[in-house]
Amino acid sequence: MNYPVWDVPFLGAGMVVAIIAIIHVLISHFAIGGGALLFVAELWSDRQPDGERIREWLHKYATFFLVYTTVFGAMTGVGIWFSIQLASPEGTSLLIHQFVFAWAIEWVLFLVELTLLYLYYYGWRKNSRRLQVALAGLYFVIAWGSLFVINGILTFMLTPGGWTIENRDMAAGFFNPGYLPSLLIRTLVMFLVAGLGGLLVAARLEEEGGLKERIVVFCSRWVLPAALLLPGLSYWYWKTLPSNTARLMAAGATGLGGGRLEVMTLFAVAAGVAGTLLVLGSLLYQVRPRALGVAGAMALFVVAQIGFLGGEFARELARKPYVIYDTLYSNSLWKHKAAEAGYRQQPYLSLTRWDPDVVPLTPQHGEWAFRLQCASCHTRSGYRGIIPRTESWTPLSGFKWLETMDQQGVPPPFVGTAEDRAAISSYIQSLHGKNVGAAEILAEAQADGRRRSDGGETREVMP
Amino acid sequence: MTVDDTRRDPGIPVAAGREERSPDPRFVPIPPEAEERSSDPRFVPIPPEAEERFSDSRFVTIPPEAEEALPPADTVTGKLGRAFFRRLPVWPLVEFLSKKKVPRHRHSFWYTIGSMALFFLVVQIVTGVLLMVYYSPSQPWSSVQRIVMEIPFGGLLRSIHHWSANLMLLALFVHLFSTFFMKAYRPPRELTWLTGLALLGTTMFLGFSGYLLPWDDLSFFATRVGISELEKMPLLGTWIAGLARGGPDVTVDTIGRFYPLHVVVLPLLLLAVLSVHLFFVQVQGVSEPDSFRALPPEQKRYHRFFSEYLVNEIPIWMALAALLVALSALFPRVLAPEADPAAAAPEGIKPEWYFMVPFQMLKLFPGSLELLGMALTGLIPVLFLVVPFVDRSVPADRRGRVATRVGVAFLVYLVAMTVWGMVS
């Protein structure tokens, strides 16, 4: 770690956030949907002659639920905070300041949620049946409330809607175009995950007297709402995406994007495939409940985890190159500032919050400029690595590419002087094992510029 | 002019009188001798002995057990089932399979690895056929580029094919070692073991032949290096290398050889050996580890293969399918620049991980020691081939324990060499 820039080799900071997040997201959906399952199963068990035995299974479920959601949920939840503020301090700060009240509500809800869960779990033998049912139901309502809140902030990042950097209209940002479809999609998905958790616990039951069958059928039904409604809701959600994103995603499928950002589409496909498989898998056990084994149930959980990976990655990538769509780039550059006259022509390092104070045109200059301006999106040779992407660069072509890099489609505009560009180009050459000084590149570029103006040539198109 | 003449030569004008009867001279009525032939006694009645054969008891009756197991005769499935078994006397087979059991114990999970490999094979066949739609061996690189850049989902298919190939090989290696440590190679399963080794070998060749097909920098030079290592083999080396390349160097002619190998010859071979392998597994059942075998009968627990065990395989295949798509999204297979045979080989050309051990061995034994390195590498398959004939005792005796230890050493050696080769 290189404070103040979080320079994670191979993965990149964004990827670390993403890895923690996809684990967390599965858990957090389970934490809410599982509450609904506890509540419904409590009611269901009351109506069954062997309700006691159903509740034995439910107790195992609750144990798994409690450990999995509170221990791992809390760990990964804190992990997300820890990593996002390192990956994007500006973005984190904006989200905190813009949604102070939402966060306050969210944390109160978390606290109540946890309290209710402990009351429910540890009161298993002592509490009356009615109290248990009420606690489970209340737990679900509060937990779902926490989704209601966080969903506004999450969807804001991709579809800020009527919110702008000038009006800072919290309500418009919170109830943004993506809010409702996303809320419904997540709600259905959490029911699905709750059912999968139920299957996992039921897989260990011995088959006797048809109890296992009934529980398995009960759990596998939780997939049905998602199976029926998700296609339509996904289409709705797709319709709310920024048109640019939607176009890129479609181009990724047809290959018209020339391979560019196809990854976003691939992740969306992964989510779709996983979702379809989950529906089929759950239906399989509805038909053959007796067959359910631990390996099978675990495999479905893995499918769900992969589905979350696909969905959340697609959502994250849909935002590239922004952290807050159309507002803040991933490298903490504000779009409105980049648009100000003269802003982009200032020496880059002097604009950063932690000026490393290096001597211009030294190798350190290039490295720091790369870290601060590029490393939030590109690793060196790992995820979205810069080395494979600059295979064909010469010192001069790199220098020129940087000047117009925002015209290449996705990357943000370059901020900095010719010296900064020469330094980065020199640094990138050094990554390829070639030693070309930044001052040399700058001189070459100036000579090239003079030749061009002497010859009366127009600007050459980039290779 | 006779009727026959007209038929033979449609160009000849038809006599006026004939015209009404048959406007087109080519379509004259059936000639009398043909008419006659159709009344040939050989063709008309069903001979009595055939009639008899059809009512052969083997074909008609449904065994009472089958009758019982089938749905009622007045339902559609019941009717179809009865019609089926009335025609095909396969009830004993169905009965055999329905009784098939899979032992349940601590190590049961390992039984699944083989079916995982099978799943990857199916994926390979499906994606491979789809890739063939646009792949062209005469323009290897540009056709692959078109698949990746232009064809809808082409890049995804290619990445899945790549990942599935690698995972299939990984699954096969895991399967090899898990069956090794369960000592499944002992009698009566020697042939299952040997066919399994053949499957692994065939799959490695499939990987090798497929790797060249995109004709990019990496694949070209890796293949060139691979074959030139082969060339150093004593006696047959030069001949084999020349045959594989179709000349002194890797050229488009090599693709002419590798392509049919990759899409026809090796897959057919693989399927043939696989059917033998699976036949043995089905007939003999999976092997039981000694610890399970030693249990008293009342403590032995089983899964029924149909459908309890099989149903639980399905989600595992689903997870693998999802994994393939996710891996293809996270790490899409990139197409390197087109191979330029005249250029110097890029630095650090390495084979795929499953060929890393021989590669690393040759690096360790340079120059005149090379033959020694080769001989040592050649020992690996030989040891696997002979083990079922050396370690035969159930339960394991001293030889069995030695075999296990050798296996552990082998596993460590293979993994270490592979990792070393990949990072160095």
A101 token code pair: 């009240």
Instruction: Please state the rounded mean pLDDT for residues B342-348.
Output: 81
Contacts (Cβ under 8 Å, ≥6 apart) of B52: none
Listed residues A269, A295, A329: the one ending a domain: A329
A307 vs B contacts (CB less than 8 Å): 322
Instruction: Compute how many other C-beta atoms are within 10 angstroms of the C-beta atom of residue A70.
Output: 17
Per-residue exposure over A41-65, b if at least 16 CB sit within 10 Å of its own CB, e if not: bbebbeeeeeeebbbebbeebbebb
| Maximum Cα interatomic distance, chain A, rounded to a whole number of Å | 95
Cβ A181 vs Cβ A237: under 8 Å = yes
Q: CB–CB of A259 and B155 under 8 A?
A: yes
B319 vs A contacts (CB less than 8 Å): 299-300, 302-303, 306
Please enumerate residues of A whose Cβ is less than 8 A from a Cβ of B. 253-256, 258-259, 262-263, 266-267, 269-270, 273-274, 277, 280-281, 284-285, 288, 290-293, 295-297, 299-300, 302-303, 306-307, 309-310, 313, 388
Q: CB–CB of B312 and A307 under 8 A?
A: no
Q: Is A458 a member of any domain? A: no
A62 token code pair: 């609750």
Contacts (Cβ under 8 Å, ≥6 apart) of A433: none
B322 vs A contacts (CB less than 8 Å): 270, 273-274, 277, 302-303, 306-307
Q: CB–CB of B315 and A284 under 8 A?
A: yes
Is residue B6 over pLDDT 70?
no
Q: Pick out chain A residues at pLDDT < 50.
A: 1-3, 257-261, 457-463
A253 vs B contacts (CB less than 8 Å): 152-153
- The predicted pLDDT at position B19 comes to 43
CA A385, A389, A392, A396 dihedral sign is negative
Q: Is A4 a member of any domain? A: no
Q: Does B150 touch chain A (CB under 8 A)?
A: yes
B152 vs A contacts (CB less than 8 Å): 253-255
Are both A298 and A352 inside the same structural domain?
A: no
Q: Does B311 touch chain A (CB under 8 A)?
A: yes
Of A255, A266, A296, the CB nearest to B316: A296
A316 token code pair: 């994250």
Q: How far apart are CA A41 and CA A51, in angstroms?
A: 10
CATH topology of domain B107-351: Cytochrome Bc1 Complex; Chain C (1.20.810)
Q: Is A463 a member of any domain? A: no
Of B154, B308, B329, the CB nearest to A291: B308
For B397-413, what is each residue's pLDDT tens digit?
Answer: 899 999 999 999 999 99
Q: CB–CB of B329 and A263 under 8 A?
A: yes
Owning domain of residue A358:
340-453
Per-residue exposure over B354-389, b if at least 16 CB sit within 10 Å of its own CB, e if not: bbbbbbbbbeebeeeebeebbeebeeeeeebeebbe
Of A297, A303, A388, the CB nearest to B322: A303
Contacts (Cβ under 8 Å, ≥6 apart) of B54: none
| Residue in chain A nearest B336 by alpha carbon | A388
Q: How far apart are CA A399 and CA B282, in angstroms?
A: 65
A18 vs B contacts (CB less than 8 Å): none
Q: Does B323 touch chain A (CB under 8 A)?
A: yes
B107 vs A contacts (CB less than 8 Å): none
Q: How many domains does chain A have?
A: 2
- The predicted pLDDT at position B39 comes to 52
Q: CB–CB of B155 and A262 under 8 A?
A: yes
Q: Does B103 touch chain A (CB under 8 A)?
A: no
Beta bridge partner(s), residue B301: B104
Of A290, A300, A313, the CB nearest to B315: A300
Cβ B347 vs Cβ B359: under 8 Å = no
Are both A131 and A207 inside the same structural domain?
A: yes
For B10-44, what is each residue's pLDDT tens digit?
Answer: 444 444 444 444 445 555 556 666 555 545 555 55
- The predicted pLDDT at position B264 comes to 97
How many Cα atoms within 13 Å fall on the side-chain side of residue B259? 18
Q: How far apart are CA A156 and CA A179, in angstroms?
A: 8
Shortest distance between the Cα of A8 and any Cα of chain B, in A, equals: 17
Angle, helices B370-390/B190-212, rounded to nearest 10 degrees: 150
Contacts (Cβ under 8 Å, ≥6 apart) of B109: A295
Contacts (Cβ under 8 Å, ≥6 apart) of B256: B137, B246
Q: CB–CB of B148 and A288 under 8 A?
A: no
Q: Which long-range contacts (CB under 8 A, 24 or more apart) does B119-125 make?
A: B119/B317, B119/B320, B119/B321, B120/B164, B120/B165, B120/B167, B120/B168, B120/B171, B120/B320, B121/B168, B121/B270, B121/B274, B123/B160, B123/B161, B123/B164, B123/B321, B123/B324, B124/B161, B124/B164, B124/B165, B124/B168, B124/B206, B125/B267
B62: DSSP letter? P
Contacts (Cβ under 8 Å, ≥6 apart) of B334: A388
In this prediction, residue B191 has a pLDDT band, given cuts at 50, 70 and 90, of very high
Are both A268 and A349 inside the same structural domain?
A: no
Question: Cβ-count burial of A128 within 10 angstroms (0-12 exposed, 13-18 middle, 19+ buried)?
Answer: exposed
Cβ A370 vs Cβ A428: under 8 Å = yes
Spell out the domain ranges in chain B: 1-46, 56-99, 107-351
For B140-188, what is each residue's pLDDT tens digit?
Answer: 999 999 998 888 888 889 999 999 999 999 999 999 999 999 999 998 9
The ipTM, to two decimals, is 0.87
Per-residue exposure over A243-268, b if at least 16 CB sit within 10 Å of its own CB, e if not: eebeebbebbbebbbebebbbbbbbb
Of B156, B308, B325, the CB nearest to A290: B308
Q: Which of B325, B327, B331, B347 to mutate to test the interface with A (most CBs of A within 10 A)?
A: B325
Q: Which of B156, B157, B312, B347 to mutate to test the interface with A (most CBs of A within 10 A)?
A: B312
A359: DSSP letter? P
- The predicted pLDDT at position B31 comes to 61
What does the mean pLDDT of chain B come to? 85
Phi then psi dihedrals of residue B288, to 5 deg = -105, 135
Q: Does B73 touch chain A (CB under 8 A)?
A: no
Q: Does B301 touch chain A (CB under 8 A)?
A: no
Of A266, A277, A295, the CB nearest to B156: A266
Identify whether B209 is preceded by a cis peptide bond (ω within 30 of 0). no
Are both A105 and A148 inside the same structural domain?
A: yes
CA A175, A178, A183, A184 dihedral sign is positive
Q: Does B346 touch chain A (CB under 8 A)?
A: no
Q: How far apart are the first and last CA of chain B?
A: 89
Of B153, B155, B322, the CB nearest to A274: B322
What ranges in A319-416 are assigned the alpha helix state H?
335-339, 348-351, 363-373, 386-389, 395-403
Q: CB–CB of A303 and B319 under 8 A?
A: yes
Are both A378 and A398 inside the same structural domain?
A: yes
Cβ A310 vs Cβ A270: under 8 Å = yes
Query: Of residues A208 and B197, which shows the higher confidence score?
Result: B197
Q: What percent of chain B has pLDDT over 90?
A: 47
Q: How far apart are CA A252 and CA A261, in angstroms?
A: 6
Q: How far apart are CA A199 and CA B398, in angstroms?
A: 44
Q: CB–CB of A274 and B112 under 8 A?
A: no
| Residue in chain B nearest A284 by alpha carbon | B311
Q: How far apart are CA A80 and CA A386, in angstroms?
A: 25
- The predicted pLDDT at position A199 comes to 95
Cβ A226 vs Cβ A275: under 8 Å = yes
- The predicted pLDDT at position A455 comes to 59
Cβ A252 vs Cβ A264: under 8 Å = yes
Q: Is A358 a member of any domain? A: yes
Q: CB–CB of A293 and B328 under 8 A?
A: no
In this prediction, residue B5 has a pLDDT band, given cuts at 50, 70 and 90, of very low
Cβ A91 vs Cβ A84: under 8 Å = yes
How far, in Å, are A235, B375, B398, B403 from residue B390 at the CA level?
Answer: 63, 21, 11, 9
Q: Does B328 touch chain A (CB under 8 A)?
A: yes
Cβ B134 vs Cβ B146: under 8 Å = yes
A219 vs B contacts (CB less than 8 Å): none
Shortest distance between the Cα of A76 and any Cα of chain B, in A, equals: 21
CA A11, A12, A18, A19 dihedral sign is positive
Q: How many CB pairs under 8 A join A and B?
A: 102
For A236-254, what is each residue's pLDDT tens digit?
Answer: 999 999 888 887 777 766 6
Cβ B362 vs Cβ B370: under 8 Å = yes
The domain spanning residue A209 has which CATH number?
A: 1.20.1630
Q: Is A81 a member of any domain? A: yes
The domain spanning residue A442 has which CATH number?
A: 1.10.760
Per-residue exposure over A181-195, b if at least 16 CB sit within 10 Å of its own CB, e if not: bbbbbbbbbbbbbbb
Are both A146 and A295 inside the same structural domain?
A: yes
How many Cα atoms within 13 Å fall on the side-chain side of residue B79? 3
B332 vs A contacts (CB less than 8 Å): 262-263, 266
- The predicted pLDDT at position B363 comes to 85
Q: What percent of chain B has pLDDT over 70?
A: 86
| Residue in chain A nearest B307 by alpha carbon | A291
Q: CB–CB of A295 and B156 under 8 A?
A: no
Cβ A297 vs Cβ A278: under 8 Å = no
Angle, helices B111-134/B140-149, rounded to nearest 10 degrees: 100
Q: Is A400 a member of any domain? A: yes
- Beta strand pairing call for A322-324 and B301-304: unpaired
Query: Of residues B53 and B340, which shows the higher confidence score?
Result: B340
A266 vs B contacts (CB less than 8 Å): 156, 325, 328-329, 332
For B253-306, what is each residue's pLDDT tens digit?
Answer: 999 999 999 999 999 999 999 999 999 999 998 988 888 988 998 988 888 888
